[in-house]
């Protein structure tokens, strides 16, 4: 099933589930919903919506459904960025890179990670020649 796009709140909940390896609705309502003042029924609705969109699986364990993300938190974020670039930047990462180059919020660690990514891209490009 092709995964459909999700909203900001759904993305947060999906990451929450992925980071924990799986949760019940009650656990998600307590840990994710309560700090955001979301009712248990709202969290349940969001989880079922994420399941129908293909982002969560569920299985019955001791009479209670446990929900599990179909990908890791890193994969979820990567896919969210990809959808953002495709939908909002016409598939071009140049505006995003321009933002990063002008941003004062980039930490030294993040800058080093970007340098590693560029080096990996350079190696791949050299290999493809």
Residue with tokens 């020649």: 129
The 10s digit of each residue's pLDDT in 32-80 is 999 999 999 999 999 999 999 999 999 999 999 999 999 998 999 888 8
User: For residues 5 and 2, which has the higher predicted lDDT (pLDDT)?
Assistant: 5
Strands 64-69 and 56-61: antiparallel
Burial class (CB in 10 A: 0-12, 13-18, 19+), 32: buried
Is residue 69 classed exposed, middle or buried when 0-12, 13-18 and 19+ CB atoms within 10 A define those classes? buried
Q: How far apart are CA 71 and CA 40, in angstroms?
A: 24
The pLDDT tens digits of the residues spanning 11-21 come to 999 999 999 99
Other Cβ atoms closer than 10 A to 43: 25
Question: At 6, is the pLDDT very low, low, confident or very high (cuts 50, 70, 90)?
Answer: confident
What confidence tier does 4 reach under pLDDT thresholds 50, 70, 90?
low
């Amino acid at each position: 099933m092709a995964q459909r796009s999700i909203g900001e709140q759904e993305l947060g909940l999906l990451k929450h589930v992925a980071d924990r390896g799986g949760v019940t609705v009650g656990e998600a309502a307590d840990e994710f919903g309560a700090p955001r003042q979301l009712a248990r029924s709202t969290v349940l609705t969001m989880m079922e919506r994420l399941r129908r969109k293909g982002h969560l699986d569920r299985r019955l364990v001791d009479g209670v459904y446990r929900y599990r993300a179909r990908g890791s938190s890193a994969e979820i974020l990567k896919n969210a960025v990809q959808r953002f670039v495709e939908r909002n930047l016409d598939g071009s990462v140049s505006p995003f890179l321009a933002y990063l180059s002008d941003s004062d919020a980039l930490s030294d660690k993040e800058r080093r990670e970007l340098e590693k990514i560029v080096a990996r891209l350079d190696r791949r490009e050299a290999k493809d020649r």
